[in-house]
Amino acid sequence: MVVPWETVECAAQLEAIVAEKGAAGVLVVVPAQTVQSTRWAGVERDLLRTSLVRAPVFFTRSPVLDDALLPQGEDGYGLFGDRWVATQHARSKQHRCPEGSLTNLQGSISPSPSVDDRLNQQPSGGSNRPHRTVAIVANYDTFAVAPAAHGGTKANGSGVAALLALARAFNHVASTEHNYTDGDGEEESNSWRLLFVLTAAGPFFGHEGAAQWIKAADPDIVKSLVFALSLDSLAGDDRLVLHVSHDPGNSSGPIADFYRRIAEAAKLADLPFSIDNGTTSAAHGPFVARKVPPSPKKKKILSIKLKLLRRSRRAPSALVNRSPPQ
Amino acid sequence: MTSLLDTRKQVDGSLLQRQVVVLGDALYRQLYNVPPSSSLLLDKVDVSKSYLDSWLDVLSSVPRGTNVLMSNTNSTIVSMLEAELGVLCNQAESVRRMPFHLSSAVLYTSTDDDMPVLTIVRTKTFVFHLALLLAVVAYLVLFRLFITILPF
């Protein structure tokens, strides 16, 4: 029995077909051409989260079947050759994955020291001047109903490719431009570090990879973070959606400056642009949840509160020491 | 969650290049405090479309599902990304592998290794168990007080 895939609305419908026909299995021929289908995404979610369909479900991108079932002239199939992949089903015997570990990757780029810096360098090596660090984060793993048969190009191959391209561009910048020093040459006014973090365990796991990186990273680096920028699902449409660790609308300082600068650059490039203020929708979620870096506005509010607290503590003693009116 | 329909054709390399140029331009201006100008700093932030395309091709063709990565700690894609970061990052100590164990979920796979199958079971967090324990203790204390105070 052949059922057009676009007519399948949920996993329950698949199970109904299996039960009615007494099918021993379901074969899904995934269309190779560019297709957008939120309905099919829902079916995949159902298959992933439940064991509703009692027969094994197979997926294929086999060129032979594509040619037979899809309009002629479409190319681009065969990313995975004719590999056949099965998803879970109720009768399958499964065992727990070995306690393997996942891996975050971290790399950083800083400008090469200027000649003056080299001459003034400490014998222990390296300038002790603090860096202003910007973290660029992207998750590189994927999570889907058939783990070996999906590309995850948009989510989040695009973010990973963008991160690497930025690292490549700033590698060139760092090797050709030096840090700036101010007039007397003592205080460095522009010492920066770009931190590139590729994380595993992405959105489906609440970006646990990013959270684990914050836990394991060098505290000095985390302290020096100015803001974190998450690259997620880029180039899906014309709009550049930016995920940042602070809402620029309610922030001041570097993140507000960056927001202004990126708005200017997007305008110059004639590129629609918006900010994602969500707290968990991308890899910046754990940064927001752990207040890394701390919000400058909150710091200010905290300092005002502390001042008020000190004043209120002083007030009773002032009343006691006040001499009575003559 | 990604979809089976999220294939290489979903991402336009030219559009990705434009978006990365915008990001790079803004970062450069931020780091060097460059005032706004009437053009993008394309000579400073050079983003190659062919570089982006080649990485998109690689990332689209190498399976990198979470359970695939878990079952193989020396996976090809991780080694490739590490090597690339090693080439690009100029800080001697900078490129680090930071392994971790997934604590929020347990993954299951089929017994047949040729057919990667994934089931995920979310586990409750430590905070949830702590909150549950406190709730039970509070309930028992209230119950005890109720028994002892009321004169039956």
Q: Which helix (H) or strand (E) holds A103?
A: strand A102-109
Cα A142 to Cα B118: distance, rounded to the nearest angstrom: 12
Distance from CA of A196 to the nearest CA of B (A): 8
Q: Report yes or no: A143 and A202 within 8 Å, Cβ to Cβ.
A: yes
Three-state secondary structure call for residue A319: helix
pLDDT at residue number A277:
60
Instruction: Report the pLDDT value the prediction gives residue A204, as an integer from 0 to 100.
Output: 76
Q: How far apart are CA A125 and CA A145, in angstroms?
A: 51
A191, part of any domain: yes
Q: Does A94 touch chain B (CB under 8 A)?
A: yes
Q: Is residue B18 part of a domain?
A: yes
The whole-angstrom distance between residue B152's C-alpha and the CA centroid of its chain comes to 60
As for the ipTM of the complex, it is: 0.76
CA distance A212 to A286: 9
Please state which of the ranges A40-54, A82-96, A255-269, A289-303 shows the lowest mean pLDDT.
Answer: A82-96
**Which residues does chain A have within 8 Å of residue B120's beta carbon, measured at their own beta carbons?**
48, 204
CB contact under 8 A, B60 and A84: no
How close B125 gets to chain A, by Cα (Å)?
12
Collect contacts of A20-24 with beta carbons under 8 A, ≥24 apart: A23/A55, A24/A55
Residue B9 lies in a domain: yes
B6–A154 C-beta distance less than 8 A = yes
Number of domains chain B is built from? 1
Whole-number mean pLDDT of chain A?
69
3-class SS of residue A26: strand
Tell me whether residue B45 is in a domain.
yes
- The domain tally of chain A equals 2
A108/B89 CB distance under 8 A: yes
Instruction: Find, among A200, A197, A212, the residue nearest to B70 by Cα.
Output: A200
CATH of the domain at A235: 3.40.630.10
User: Do both A146 and A287 map to the same domain?
Assistant: yes
Same domain for A266 and A143? yes
Other CB atoms within a 10 A radius of the CB of residue B23 amount to 26
Query: Over the stretch A10-60, which tens digit does the pLDDT of each residue have?
Result: 778 888 888 888 887 777 776 655 555 667 777 777 776 666 777 777 776
Above pLDDT 70, what percent of chain A?
A: 54
Q: Please name the residues between 58 and 97 in chain B that touch chain A, using a CB distance below 8 Å.
A: 59-61, 63-73, 77-78, 81-82, 84-86, 88-91, 94-97
Check whether residue A41 and residue A109 sit in a common domain.
no
Domain that holds residue B39: 1-61
**Contact between B89 and A107 using a beta-carbon 8 Å cutoff:** yes
Longest dimension (CA), chain B: 87
Please tell me whether residues A79 and A132 are part of one structural domain: no
User: Is the CB of B1 less than 8 angstroms away from the CB of A44?
Assistant: yes
Does the CB of B127 have a partner CB in chain A at under 8 Å?
Answer: no
- Both A227 and A264 in a single domain? yes
Q: Could you say which residues from 167 to 196 on chain A have a Cβ atom under 8 Å away from some Cβ of chain B?
A: 167-175, 177, 180, 190, 192-194, 196
**Neighbouring-strand partners of residue A273:** A240
Judged by average pLDDT, the poorest of A103-107, A158-162, A218-222, A280-284 is: A280-284
> Does residue A100 fall inside a structural domain?
no
Q: pLDDT at position A286, please?
A: 77
Residue B147 lies in a domain: no
Whether residue A136 is found in the same domain as residue A284: yes
B4/A145 Cα distance (integer angstroms): 8
How far is A324 from chain B, CA to nearest CA, in Å?
A: 52
Quote the pLDDT of residue A320. Answer: 37
User: What DSSP string describes chain B?
Assistant: ---TT--GGGS-HHHHHHHHHHHHHHHHHHHHTPPP-SS--TTTS---HHHHHHHHHHHHHS--BHHHHHH-TT-HHHHHHHHHHHHH---TTT-EEEEE---SEEEEEES-TTS---EEEE---HHHHHHHHHHHHHHHHHHHHHHHHS--
**Percent of chain A's residues with pLDDT above 90:** 10
Helices assigned H by DSSP within A50-156: 63-69, 115-119
- Quick check: is A208 in a domain? yes
Within 8 A of B73 by CB-CB distance, chain A residues are 100-101, 103
- In tens, the pLDDT along A301-325 reads 444 455 555 555 544 443 334 444 4
A87 touches chain B (CB under 8 A): yes
Better-scored residue on pLDDT, B55 or A1: B55
pTM of the model: 0.72
Identify all chain A residues contacting B72, using CB atoms and an 8 Å cutoff.
100
Q: Does A85 touch chain B (CB under 8 A)?
A: yes
User: How close A290 comes to chain B (CA, Å)?
Assistant: 15
More confident residue, A209 or A295: A209
pLDDT on residue A31: 62
Which burial class, exposed, middle or buried, applies to A155 when counting CB atoms under 10 A from its CB (0-12, 13-18, 19+)?
buried
Any chain A CB within 8 A of the CB of B10?
A: yes
Q: Which of B15, B27, B66 sits opposite A141 (nearest CB)?
A: B66
Looking at the complex, report in whole angstroms how far the Cα of residue B119 sits from the nearest Cα belonging to chain A.
7
Is the pLDDT assigned to residue A141 strictly greater than 60?
yes
Q: Is the dihedral of CA A112, A116, A117, A123 positive or negative?
A: positive
| A153 and A79 assigned to the same domain | no
Residue A91: pLDDT above 80?
Answer: no
Residue A314: inside a domain, yes or no? no
Contacts of B10 in chain A (CB under 8 A): 34, 153-154, 236
Decide if B48 is inside a domain: yes
Residues A124 and A176 in one domain: yes
Q: Please report, in tens digits, the pLDDT of each residue of chain B (152 residues total).
A: 567 778 788 889 999 999 999 999 999 988 888 887 778 888 788 899 999 999 999 998 888 888 778 777 678 899 999 999 988 887 656 688 888 887 766 665 554 444 445 555 556 667 888 899 999 999 999 998 888 887 66
- Res A75 pLDDT > 70: no
- pLDDT digit string, tens, across residues A170-220: 988 888 775 554 444 444 445 788 999 999 988 878 788 888 999 898 888
Q: Which residue has the tokens 């889907």?
A: A144
pLDDT given at position A116? 54
Residue B118 lies in a domain: no
Q: Are residues A22 and A150 in the same domain?
A: no
Instruction: Report CB contact under 8 Å: A86, B107.
Output: no
| Per-residue model confidence (pLDDT) at position A122 | 47
Its sign, for the CA torsion B4, B8, B13, B17, is positive
- Whether residues A161 and A242 share a domain: the answer is yes
- Answer yes or no: do A22 and A112 share one domain: no
A132-139 and A192-199: which strand pairing?
parallel
CB contact under 8 A, B73 and A177: no
B25 lies in some domain: yes
- Judge if A269 and A145 occupy the same domain: yes
Cβ-based neighbour number of residue B49 at 10 Å: 15
Distances (CA, A) of B116 to A97, A179, B74, B86: 11, 50, 17, 31
Residue A45's domain spans which residues? Answer: 5-86
Task: Give the residue among A87, A2, A105, A7 at the shortest CA–CA distance from A44.
Answer: A87
Question: Is residue B11 assigned to a domain?
Answer: yes
Residue A220, min C-alpha distance to chain B (Å): 13
